[in-house]
Chains A and B, each alone.
Chain A
Amino acid sequence: MLLREVDYARPSTVEEAIALLAAYEGARALAGGQTIVNVMKARAAAPDVLVDLADLDELRAIGFSSDGLLEIGAMVTYSQLISSSEVEVARPILAEVAATIGDVQVRNRGTVGGNVCVSDPTNHLPPLLAALDATFTIRGPESERTVRADEFFVGVYMTAVGEGELLTKISVPPPSGAGDGFAGVTIGKHGTFIVDGAATVSDESVRIALGCVAATPVRATEMEQRLAGGDFSEEAVRASAEGLGASLDPPSDVHGSAEYRRHLAEVSAVRAVLQATGRRKGP
């Protein structure tokens, strides 16, 4: 409801931002603020310093790398993602899913970087980006590195971004004929997810990632292997999901028991795969 005392800075370059984050131990990056301001209102966490990334135009770009990766700056808002022609052409599932996050006001401020760095198990983008095999570029005072999803998402509210570091961009490979799907059950329309699943299906590979069932997105590797044969009929997809729920240890809460979440995981995975299958583009 009301924040503790905090210091605030608004750097004008990424280097300045990183320097601030490195210099102050209790410093946190302020991106869209749609999560961190809530957290600070509840006094569940109280950073000493907020480093506002608002002026870092470098982090707001959407474009393509020379090898065809779709590069999305960490400060790109959901609204920007939704109206981006690059995203529409390259990987429209990102815009589709972003369009269901919260509401217009939240989408005008909330950022893709914020969504992944918070690493809340119920957030939309982590399982989606895991399925898309996205990579995450992290810059520190001395160096820059790029990691995959399974290395980026470490735990609840924990990512590979360390103190004094900043996520600068997310890179998504081109689909190359793959279809993408996303399905789940929310608390009310466009509400928080209870369970969700994302899938990318091409003739060569299947990637399926589930959210809300563990601290970080879970790849349904056995299901992926069973589908390697290339049979994506509904019967085959349903059969491939057998045992998926039993392999998970999801939480129980007011919105669903562990048993319900195990079941929803199978349902979400199947629906995401079927949707992705239907969206494959031929060679």
Chain B
Amino acid sequence: MTTVTEQPVKTLERGYVGQSIPRREDKRLVQGLGTFFDDVRRHGMGYVHFVRSPYAHARIVSIDVSKALELEGVYGTITGDEVAIHTDPFFEMSVEPGGNISDYALAVGRVRHMGEPVAAVCAATRELARDAADLIEVEYDALPVLVDAEESLKDEIVLHDDAGSNVVWSGVFDWGDVDGALAEADHVVKIDRLHFHRFSSTPLECAGALVEYDKGTGEWTLHCNHQMPGVGAIWMAPALRTGIDKLRFVTQDIGGGFGNKICLHPQYVVLCLMARKLGRPVQWTEWRTDQHTANAHGNERTFLDVEVAVKADGTMTGFKVKALDDCGAFPRYEPLGCIIWAQVTPGLYGWQNIRVDFTQVCTNKSPVSPNRGYSRMQHLWLTERIIDIVAAELGFDPVEIRKKNYVKANQMPYETPNGCVYDSGDYAAALDIALELIDYGSIEERRKEAASRRKLLGFGIGSTLDSGTNNFGQSTLLNPDLQFSGNNEAASVKLDIFGEVVVTLGTVPQGQGHETTAAQVVADILGCSPEQVNVRRGHDTWFNSHAGFSGTYASQFAFTGLGAVKGAAELVREDMVQLAAAVLQAPVEAIELADGFARIKDGPEEAALPFMALGAIVNANNAFLPPEFNPTLNHRYVCRPYFGMVDKEKKTGQLTLTYATQIHAAVVEIDPETGEVEIVDYAAVDDCGVRINPQIVEGQVHGATAHAIGAALSEEFVYDEDGTLLTANFYDYHVPHAMDMPPLKTGAMESPSPVAPLGAKGMGEGGGGGIHCIGAAIQDALRAAGGAIVYDSCNPPHRVWSMLQDPEATRANVSVVSK
């Protein structure tokens, strides 16, 4: 039983917080004056091109760079052999066997996925680097290829000799008594196999960096777009045999991250080595094809042998499942995915008895790394598939069965079987809003009308949670020896010499509007307007306050990022009030901060000090202050959310602090002759507690919905049996364009979080609601044409057509045993 520590919530009086203030970031961005890393130039810089493996699995026999080095304008090369001499392998998160993997910045002796970097060349221009790469001769000895996780389990072909097995990690999570629940159940619904596919958010700006090395100090500066520099440094510094402080990460504007810019350390280490070796700044910009083949795919997970215990009245008491996670060629960040889903173990439902038998394996595919919705999305898809398949098999209404099984509003805060606490939310109410937006009452009528046009209409719901503000202690469930727990974020606020308010963030925004929302919070606390608050762009590990977990990821900015801003601003406020009281010779309680002044409440007009006066006193004119009074007007604050410790035995604990709700509903029409699916109506309801800037929140909802729609209908990373990625560009990997998007209706609720500093929950990831509701809608539509069960999270026309041709093949997947 977890003890919930509620932080006293001083809800801000809503001033600027809660308003949809236009973003200040926009002014530079709409003029094309943003600074993305590829816009940064350095005198004498060289451009880097990576030579990549054309094989999914092969031994490297030899690499000959001599012809490349002869090309005029080429500055130098680097190969895996050099990397193995000058660096140590990256730290591995998992226990054995995965923990024994040797992962270097370039392939050493062997390549394990198509596109894996094997060598790098640096030249005076981009074109020359590309030409030189063609002159590097690599000889390979092809090895048998593994592209299937279930095959990989057999360990007949082993990818990492140091590990001796393809299994990265496996463990059983067992809460309550699922065997008892299954024995007592009136119905047991069995689902043999469900598959969550590979895709990713494909941010429009690719990864990259411009790296400089200072020979005098041994320090590197990386102008880059890494979205979690703290973790990047933890990987890179030991590998480079240097201190963390020798790596300075500077990010400015970033063209989208979505998690796909977390595992950039291998390429960055190569750049660091080259900058040092060649004595000049080196720059690398990832190509789109390389991002698809060799950067970061989202989790691919197969769910096997699902069994669900259901009572006669539709109450679901438990389920068990075997989950098989395919993390591609190198696990890196990915072992955390083996645990992170447990933040939302029961989804939105009141199941008490759950067993998950989880295994993660390597294959010859691109490495997996966090992708919007990271690991929770896959698990939530499972729970939603379970609800809809159980409903279909046993004849329950999908809305009613959800309302029956949802955690109720009056149960909040609600503790899940594994000790997580859902802080607030009213799922049934959010569902009602979605149903109203979609005009649920007219569905049957619309179904008939569509049928008259020979279309199959279907309706589906997707209910998800965006769990935010991680307890990194959950990593000890993966590996008890890891020294991580809790969470933190830092920010600093100061009043400058002329009274300008300056804020630096520990976060690394990639479009979430942090500069604007931070200014709103500070403005409310200091009693000025957001325009008077200057928030420095981006993140610089030398100049910005930051802490170990700093970055922008995992839906936590509204809690930890703004919590740090709030904390720092409140400390500055305290200084200002005390200082004004001393100067105006009034009691502290009589001082208020408003309209850009510190003044006596209801006092005479002259009894007011502009911020400039306060700044000037402290910075330039402080002799008259008594010795014991030393206001600095410059404070750093670390927001450290409270968690309990995690219980490694029972695998329980408070894994995340906030839970934003997403209820999505879709109406689709299927053309039965072609399998094409069109979304004709769509509603997304979001409840993230207090909305600091409602317009920004809504923008995130739109974007997350677009990602989910793309994933549900067309975005799929597909491999052939040779390990070739068949969808390596935007022709074949189709993402939604403006004409692909359906009319979107959005609704919002605010169930303030009792644990977050501003009552605001992180919500940037969403939960993949679109994937769930579109799959459910497809299944509903197909009831009139064979009743196929949707078993895959991606349903492009050819798959839908197959379900129409042979529904029995999918139905054979499901069976019911009733008392």
Contact = CB atoms under 8 A, between A and B. Distances in A.
B248 to A, nearest CB: 29
| Secondary structure of the A contact surface, majority rule | loop
Contacts of B130: 1-2
B172 to A, nearest CB: 36
A257 B798 contact: yes
A253 B732 CA distance: 10
A159 to B, nearest CB: 22
B734 A188 contact: yes
B740 A188 contact: yes
B731 A189 contact: no
Given A2-B130, A185-B674, A267-B673, A190 B797 contact: no
Q: How large is the interface on A (under 10, 10 to 19, 20 to 34, 35 or more residues)?
A: 20 to 34
Nearest to B129: A2
A189 B735 CA distance: 10
B734 A2 contact: no
Given A253-B726, A254-B726, A264-B674, A188 B801 contact: no
Contacts of B439: none
A234 B148 CA distance: 45
A185 B718 CA distance: 20
A185 B801 CA distance: 12
Contact of A2 (B126, B673, B739, B797): B126
Contacts of B740: 188-189
Most B CB contacts (10 A, CB to CB) among A3, A190, A254 go to A254
A281 interface: no
A137 interface: no
Contacts of B127: 2-3
Given A188-B737, A188-B740, A192-B731, A255 B796 contact: yes
Contacts of B131: 4-5
Nearest to A264: B674
A177 interface: no
Nearest to B678: A189
| Secondary structure of the B contact surface, majority rule | loop
Contacts of B714: 187-188
A256 to B, nearest CB: 4
A254 B737 contact: no
Nearest to A188: B734
A43 B716 CA distance: 25
B192 interface: no
Contacts of B134: 43
A226 interface: no
A190 B177 CA distance: 52
Interface in B751-805: 796-798, 801-802
A187 B127 CA distance: 32
Nearest to A263: B801
A191 interface: yes
B72 to A, nearest CB: 13
B797 A189 contact: no
Contacts of A232: none
B727 interface: yes
Contact of A254 (B675, B718, B739): B718
A37 to B, nearest CB: 14
B287 interface: yes
Contact of A185 (B287, B289, B737, B797): B797
Nearest to A266: B673
A194 interface: yes
Contact of A194 (B673, B727, B797): B797
Contacts of B287: 1
B737 A189 contact: yes
Given A2-B130, A253-B726, A254-B718, A260 B798 contact: yes
Contacts of A190: 737, 739
B300 to A, nearest CB: 16
B732 A254 contact: yes
A254 B126 contact: no
Nearest to A267: B673
B676 interface: yes
Closest 9 CB pairs of A and B: A189-B739, A188-B734, A254-B726, A2-B130, A256-B798, A267-B673, A254-B718, A187-B734, A260-B798
Given A190-B737, A260-B675, 6 more contacts: A185-B797, A188-B737, A254-B726, A255-B798, A256-B798, A257-B798
Interface of B: 126-127, 130-131, 134, 287, 289, 673-676, 714, 716, 718, 726-727, 731-732, 734, 736-737, 739-740, 796-798, 801-802
8 contacts: A2-B126, A4-B131, A185-B797, A191-B734, A254-B716, A254-B732, A255-B732, A264-B674
